[in-house]
Amino acid sequence: MAVNYYTPEGLQKLKDKLQDLRIRGRADIARQIAEARDKGDLSENAEYDAAKDAQGLLEMEISKLEDLVANARIIDTSKLDASKVSILSRVKIKNPTGQVLEYTLVAEEEADLKLNKISVKSPIGQGLLGKKVGEVAEINAPRGKMKFEVLEIAF
């Protein structure tokens, strides 16, 4: 699995979610299985089958989060080059209509458009990576190519 870079807050959120799923998630599933088991014949018990399926999905999610946390690295922004867009860059860009937008490029799991955090794996994020102030990023969007001019880069 590839290494993913996170902010300290983003990595802590992943760890908290993992801990919650391990403790509360597993306890809830165990309770559901026990309740379904108490209802009789397991070979014809749809509730038992559903609880076992939910258990499998929960364990798969826990495993995925464990891999993410194991391969996570916290980024030291003091070592990043502020002259070009990279992960954790706060970027001001001008869209084709002239509107100025500001985004922070983050790992996919930290992306939250409400907080102006976009994934480095998103089309806009990928198009902006490596660009310098004044350069134009051509991004393939669902409605065609769009050009975004990089106005400012900060951390």
Q: What is the pLDDT of residues 107-135, one digit of tens each?
A: 888 899 999 999 999 999 999 999 999 99
Residues 6+ apart with CB under 8 A from 5: 72, 73, 74, 75, 87, 88, 107
Q: Which long-range contacts (CB under 8 A, 24 or more apart) does 29-37 make?
A: 29/54, 29/55, 29/58
Q: Please report the pLDDT score of residue 151 as a whole number.
A: 94
Q: Give the residue carrying structure tokens 């880069």.
A: 153
Q: Please report the pLDDT score of residue 45 as a whole number.
A: 79
- Find, among 116, 119, 121, 151, the residue nearest to 137 by Cα: 151
15 near 7, Cβ under 8 Å?
Answer: no
For residue 150, list its beta bridge partners: 93
Q: Please report the pLDDT score of residue 92 as a whole number.
A: 95
pLDDT band for 144, please (50, 70, 90 cuts). Answer: confident
Q: Please report the pLDDT score of residue 138 as a whole number.
A: 92
Q: Please report the pLDDT score of residue 88 as a whole number.
A: 87
| Predicted TM-score (pTM) of this structure | 0.70
Please identify, in words, the CATH class of the domain defined by 4-74: mainly alpha
Domain boundaries in the chain?
4-74, 77-154
Q: Please report the pLDDT score of residue 1 as a whole number.
A: 59
Q: What does DSSP assign to residue 43?
A: G
Into which CATH architecture does domain 77-154 fall? Roll (3.10)
Q: How do residues 11-64 score in pLDDT, each as one tens digit?
A: 999 999 999 999 999 999 999 999 888 877 767 778 888 999 999 999 999 999
